């Protein structure tokens, strides 16, 4: 196969994980208004303050406009045509995995995420979110022993209302942006994590999201609180079934790290990207932000973005505590008509704060990949330090790759470095490997693997494998 | 072009009824009217305008009740001499508020050289062909405003294979007895194989009134032509400026632009755009901004790669003292056809002042795959090791810092191809640092 054929082949490759599951749904009528919000709130049996908060989010949503600064045309979205609540009908209280809908289990199996196996082999506690409502949570008992709270958001609201009330919306306020406001108003469920003082969470916490029912946007809300001297690594992975109609995913993730705490948040995202003409696909408009509240705390984002028609998110870190640290590692792959406008924002507020940004973009086919980032150093951030590297790899001459960094320094003692490069895979590199008996396809895979290694190295083991599998689809035969 | 003064406070007229600023009556009437219409449709940039995010031009325009004037003014030899660069052998051309003052100027003459006031050059072939043709002029609010209202400026056209034996030293004098908003407009055309060096300096006679210049320079470098363009912005407290330089390059041409911003002018915005229409070109954009006090310096550069096989190199270095505030934007746009492009960009800054700030946006927008593009940004301060090394050799702290700043800016000053100018700039930097 010559290189062009390989590129065509890959560019046209069908989405491998496209299938739908038939489960009886409990769906709210389409439309967005106060009644729907009250309906969701009532359905979830929420306290009055949370309903108030949702309504405040709705008020903010009504006032906000869709942004226009992004480097792509925002598709027209009729948010009134969406249904804002869908939950698998609860048959009865579930105690073990055996009681979970077998069809749902089969779906996870097809995705290569068998709950049973994971439980047995990997020691990962999985909080499976299937269209908004958490249906199975494992390893809960073990975590409970250590005082770690890892449950669905709805459960947390019932059982730990004080904790939720204290931290909800403190990192991403209800009026932050239009999608965050929408999420605040209608969020269905999500995950809640609390790591108590001095606890090192013994296992990787993970959730798998799937978007299933047609016409339902998913609005998860994740809140992670790491108390003093604690540590947690949290994984999020996604695949979604094939759909013709675009689906909006506007999640919010909030992370709070108190003194000496460390939170590591990893994402592998492989939602349905649309077909080769850009029809269908998920809109992944997510607001992710963490705050290093206490001194010496650390938040690290790692993401591997291979799916979605449009990926639009900027996992950010506010470095408020002195000597706190923020990291952002990203690989974003676009092909066909995919669009990614992603990057990070790091706000250096406390003194001695450090940040590191590594972003690797790969564009193929007609894909459009943008890195957009902000590094700001406030006047109090003495001796702040930032290093940013964003590299882009172009495969084929129809794709685009862009970098839009914003660097703002208000402190003379800050050291900021930023570098960006754009290039294709060198013919000399391919030739070198060819000359050593490695065929072109493997050579490209080797080079690209080396190219993204810095980021994949940051992923926990279980994820690194999955991420590499996802990437290889795009990597093979990418001779420019 | 007629002379007249409009007595409406300028900012008010701009925001209330832009059409009250009737454009001067001349042969370019139609062009001026459409530019004014475009300007009134877009209005002045605000902080929400992406290209002006960190520069609030409205604040600077509101500062004084500027008047719009295109009345020719004159100056004296003594004033013009303030801009002289020791050892520089050049043709000096003096423009006062954009108007050519012939008695103080020595204009190069010869076959194929046409240099004169814009107002006297509208019949030149180069004028008809190139005036106001640049996309970065049409549509940029302040450039549109300039097109609508400009008074005068310098026209240069060199015919094919003509080169000028000495550099042209263009001395801009800004003087007015009232606060004035001045709109100079220049067009320089180098036909095939022509070559020239232009050094721009500014002089600001001591006076109460403040001059705000909104100038536009259009540059055309045709096939195989070469232009060295130095813009030395020696500041003054009573001066504000927006400079738009829009260059276009044809096949095999070379354009070298140096922008050196020195202290005192409270507000400087430089818009520099280069569009490449022919392949195998070379473009060098070099800049130094050395800012003190409450200076605000904004450099907005745009490299537009439309065709294959072009090289561009951009290097801007900033030294910020006191409360100085600098903005750098470097856009590189590589179009799909522009394969084999090499585009490099670097922006380095030293923050010395406690309240000094830098906002930088290096941007790459790339639609071709066989390219090498990169950008780099750094912000930092003196290395303690370097300072210690010098001090251990009995060099005082101030002198050591001056030495380090000189070394820091050396990347750019070293590229200045006119030795007298190079010495002068290095001397200026040292003098400022020693103060």
pLDDT in tens, B297-309: 999 999 999 999 9
Domain of B417 in residue numbering reads as: 66-434
B364 contact A CB<8A: yes
Pick B363's closest partner by Cβ from A404, A411, A480: A404
Of chain B, the percentage scoring pLDDT greater than 90 comes to 58
B376–A420 C-beta distance less than 8 A? yes
Spatial contact of B326 and B298, defined as CB atoms under 8 Å apart: yes
Q: How far is CA B131 from the centre of its chain?
A: 18
Q: Which residue has the tokens 């219409």?
A: B37
Strands B211-221 and B180-182: parallel
Q: What is the pLDDT of residue B43?
A: 83
Q: Would residue B276 count as lying in a domain? A: yes
Q: What is the block-wise mean pLDDT of chain A (480 residues), using blocks of 10 residues? A: 53 54 62 83 85 89 84 80 65 52 56 47 47 50 81 85 90 88 85 90 68 54 92 75 63 92 88 75 88 93 86 92 94 86 93 93 87 92 92 84 90 90 84 90 81 83 70 53
Contacts of B365 in chain A (CB under 8 A): 400, 402
Q: Of A270 and B78, which is predicted with more confidence?
A: B78
Question: Of chain B residues 6-25, which have a CB less than 8 A from chain A?
Answer: none
Q: Would residue B223 count as lying in a domain? A: yes
Residue of A nearest to B346 (CA): A419
For B247-305, how does the pLDDT look when each residue is reduced to its tens digit (9 = 90+)? 999 999 999 999 999 999 999 999 999 999 999 999 999 999 999 999 999 999 999 99
B3 contact A CB<8A: no
Question: Of chain B residues 340-359, which have a CB less than 8 A from chain A?
Answer: 349, 351-359
Separation of alpha carbons B132 and A49, rounded Å = 62
Q: What is the pLDDT of residue A477?
A: 46
Contacts of A419 in chain B (CB under 8 A): 374-377
Q: Would residue B3 count as lying in a domain? A: no
Residue among B187, B236, B245, B235 at smallest CA distance from B214 = B245
Strands B226-233 and B195-203: parallel
Give the residue from A396, A420, A424, A425 with the most B CB atoms within 10 Å of its CB, the best one to mutate: A420
* B240 Cα to chain A: minimum distance (Å): 24
Give the residue from B343, B369, B378 with the most A CB atoms within 10 Å of its CB, the best one to mutate: B369
Separation of alpha carbons A78 and A66, rounded Å = 12
ipTM passes above 0.95? no
Separation of alpha carbons A325 and A330, rounded Å = 17
Residue of A nearest to B54 (CA): A408
B403 contact A CB<8A: no
Instruction: Tally A–B CB contacts below 8 A.
Output: 113
B368 contact A CB<8A: yes
What global pTM score does this model have?
Answer: 0.85
Q: What is the pLDDT of residue A5?
A: 59
Spatial contact of B159 and B126, defined as CB atoms under 8 Å apart: no
Pick A397's closest partner by Cβ from B362, B369, B372: B369
A407 contact B CB<8A: yes
Q: Would residue B5 count as lying in a domain? A: no
Contacts of A413 in chain B (CB under 8 A): 381
B369–A399 C-beta distance less than 8 A? yes
For A313-363, how does the pLDDT look when each residue is reduced to its tens digit (9 = 90+)? 999 999 999 999 999 999 898 888 888 999 999 999 999 999 999 999 988
Residue among B355, B360, B137 at smallest CA distance from A417 = B360
Q: How far is CA A29 from the centre of its chain?
A: 28
A403–B377 C-beta distance less than 8 A? no
| Average pLDDT of every residue of chain B | 89
A398–B356 C-beta distance less than 8 A? no
CB neighbourhood size of A427 (10 A): 12
| CA distance to B54, B60, B120, B214, per residue, from B57 (Å) | 9, 5, 32, 11
User: 3-state class of B160 per DSSP?
Assistant: coil
How many domains does chain B fold into?
1
A4 contact B CB<8A: no
For chain B, give the longest Cα–Cα distance.
Answer: 68
Q: Would residue B195 count as lying in a domain? A: yes
Q: Would residue B55 count as lying in a domain? A: no
Contacts with B430 (C-beta within 8 Å, 6 or more apart), sequence order: B402, B406
A376 contact B CB<8A: no
B379–A415 C-beta distance less than 8 A? yes
For B312-337, how does the pLDDT look when each residue is reduced to its tens digit (9 = 90+)? 999 999 999 999 999 999 999 999 89
Question: At residue B193, does pLDDT exceed 80?
Answer: yes
A374 contact B CB<8A: no
Question: At residue B227, does pLDDT exceed 50?
Answer: yes
A417–B369 C-beta distance less than 8 A? no
Contacts of A424 in chain B (CB under 8 A): 369-371
Contacts of B362 in chain A (CB under 8 A): 403, 405, 418, 420
Q: Would residue B421 count as lying in a domain? A: yes
For B355-413, how does the pLDDT look when each residue is reduced to its tens digit (9 = 90+)? 999 999 988 888 888 888 888 999 988 888 999 999 999 999 888 999 999 999 999 99
B369–A424 C-beta distance less than 8 A? yes
B435 contact A CB<8A: no
Q: Would residue B7 count as lying in a domain? A: no
Pick A394's closest partner by Cβ from B369, B378, B380: B369
Contacts of B330 in chain A (CB under 8 A): none
B50–A412 C-beta distance less than 8 A? no
* A350 Cα to chain B: minimum distance (Å): 17
Q: What is the pLDDT of residue A366?
A: 85
Residue of B nearest to A394 (CA): B369
A415 contact B CB<8A: yes
Residue of B nearest to A373 (CA): B361
Pick B364's closest partner by Cβ from A69, A403, A415: A403
A416–B379 C-beta distance less than 8 A? yes
Strands B99-100 and B91-96: antiparallel
């Amino acid at each position: 196969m010559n290189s062009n054929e390989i590129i065509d082949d890959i560019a046209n490759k069908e989405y491998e994980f496209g299938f739908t599951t038939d489960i009886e749904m409990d769906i709210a009528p389409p439309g967005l208004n106060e009644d729907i919000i009250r309906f969701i709130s009532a359905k979830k049996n929420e306290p009055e303050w949370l309903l108030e908060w949702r309504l405040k989010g709705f008020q903010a949503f009504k006032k906000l406009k869709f942004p226009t600064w992004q480097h792509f045309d925002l598709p027209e979205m009729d948010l009134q045509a969406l249904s804002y609540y869908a939950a698998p009908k609860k048959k009865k209280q579930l105690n073990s995995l055996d009681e979970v809908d077998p069809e749902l289990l089969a779906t996870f199996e097809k995705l290569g995420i068998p709950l049973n196996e994971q439980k047995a082999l990997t020691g990962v506690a999985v909080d499976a979110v299937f269209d908004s409502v958490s249906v199975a949570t494992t390893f809960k008992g073990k975590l409970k022993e250590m005082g770690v709270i890892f449950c669905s958001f709805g459960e947390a609201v019932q059982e730990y209302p004080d904790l939720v009330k204290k931290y909800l919306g403190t990192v991403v306020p209800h009026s932050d942006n239009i999608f965050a406001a929408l999420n605040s108003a209608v969020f269905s469920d999500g995950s809640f994590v609390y790591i108590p003082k001095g606890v090192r969470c013994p296992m990787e916490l993970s959730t798998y999201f799937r978007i299933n029912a047609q016409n339902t946007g998913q609005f998860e809300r994740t809140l992670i609180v790491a108390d003093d001297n604690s540590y947690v690594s949290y994984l999020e992975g996604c695949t979604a079934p094939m759909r013709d109609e675009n689906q909006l995913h506007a999640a919010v993730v909030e992370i709070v790290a108190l003194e000496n705490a460390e939170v590591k948040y990893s994402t592998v995202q492989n939602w349905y990207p649309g077909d080769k003409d850009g029809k269908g696909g998920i809109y992944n408009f997510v607001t992710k932000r963490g705050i290093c509240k206490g001194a010496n705390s650390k938040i690290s984002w790692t993401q591997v973005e291979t799916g979605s028609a449009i990926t639009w998110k900027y996992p950010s870190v506010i470095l408020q505590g002195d000597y706190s640290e923020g990291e952002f590692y990203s690989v974003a792959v676009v092909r066909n008509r995919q669009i990614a406008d992603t990057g990070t924002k790091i706000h250096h507020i406390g003194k001695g704060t450090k940040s590191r940004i590594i972003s690797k973009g790969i564009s193929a086919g007609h894909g459009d990949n943008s890195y957009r980032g902000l590094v700001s150093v406030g006047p109090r951030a003495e001796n702040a330090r930032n290093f940013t590297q964003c590299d882009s790899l172009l495969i084929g001459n129809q794709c685009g790759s862009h970098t839009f960094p914003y660097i703002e320094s208000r402190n003379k003692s800050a050291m900021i470095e930023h570098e960006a490069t754009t290039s294709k895979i060198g013919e000399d590199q391919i030739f070198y490997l060819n000359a050593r008996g490695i065929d072109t396809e493997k050579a490209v895979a080797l080079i690209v693997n080396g190219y993204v290694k810095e980021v994949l190295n940051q992923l926990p083991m279980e994820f690194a494998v999955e991420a590499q599998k996802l990437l290889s689809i795009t990597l093979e035969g990418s001779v420019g | 072009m007629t002379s007249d003064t409009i007595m409406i406070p300028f900012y008010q007229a701009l925001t209330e009824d832009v059409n009250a600023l009737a454009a001067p009556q001349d042969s370019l009437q139609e062009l001026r009217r459409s530019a004014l219409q475009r300007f009134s449709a877009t209005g002045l940039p605000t902080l929400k305008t992406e290209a002006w995010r960190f520069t609030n031009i409205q604040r600077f325009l509101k500062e004084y009740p500027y008047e719009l004037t295109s009345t020719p003014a004159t100056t004296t030899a003594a004033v013009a001499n303030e801009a002289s660069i020791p050892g520089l052998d050049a043709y000096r051309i003096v423009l006062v508020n954009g108007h050519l003052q012939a008695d103080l100027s020595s204009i190069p003459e010869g076959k194929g050289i046409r240099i004169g006031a814009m107002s006297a050059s509208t019949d030149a072939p180069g004028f008809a062909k190139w005036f106001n043709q640049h996309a970065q002029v049409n549509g940029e609010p302040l450039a549109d405003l300039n097109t609508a209202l400009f008074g005068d400026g310098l026209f240069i056209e060199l015919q094919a294979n003509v080169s000028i034996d000495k550099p042209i030293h263009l001395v801009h004098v800004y003087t007015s007895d009232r606060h004035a908003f001045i709109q100079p407009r220049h067009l320089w055309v180098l036909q095939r194989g022509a070559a020239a060096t232009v050094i721009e300096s500014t002089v600001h006679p001591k006076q109460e009134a403040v001059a705000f210049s909104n100038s536009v320079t259009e540059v055309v470098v045709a096939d195989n032509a070469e232009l060295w363009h130095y813009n030395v912005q020696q500041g003054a407290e009573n001066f504000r400026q927006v400079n738009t330089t829009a260059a276009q390059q044809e096949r095999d041409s070379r354009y070298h632009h140096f922008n050196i911003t020195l202290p005192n002018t409270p507000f400087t915005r430089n818009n520099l755009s280069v569009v490449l229409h022919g392949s195998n070109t070379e473009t060098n954009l070099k800049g130094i901004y050395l800012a003190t006090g409450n200076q605000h310096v904004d450099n907005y550069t745009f490299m537009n790669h439309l065709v294959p096989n072009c090289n561009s190199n951009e290097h801007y270095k900033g030294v910020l003292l006191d409360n100085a505030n600098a903005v750098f934007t470097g856009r590189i746009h590589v179009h799909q056809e522009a394969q084999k492009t090499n585009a490099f960009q670097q922006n380095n800054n030293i923050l010395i002042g406690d309240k000094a700030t830098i906002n930088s946006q290096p941007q790459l927008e790339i639609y071709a795959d066989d390219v090498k593009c990169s950008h780099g940004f750094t912000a930092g301060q003196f290395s303690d090791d370097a300072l210690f090394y010098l001090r251990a050799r009995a060099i005082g702290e101030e002198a050591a810092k001056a030495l380090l700043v000189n070394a820091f800016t050396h990347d750019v000053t070293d590229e200045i191809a006119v030795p007298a100018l190079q010495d002068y700039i290095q001397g200026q930097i040292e003098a400022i640092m020693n103060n």
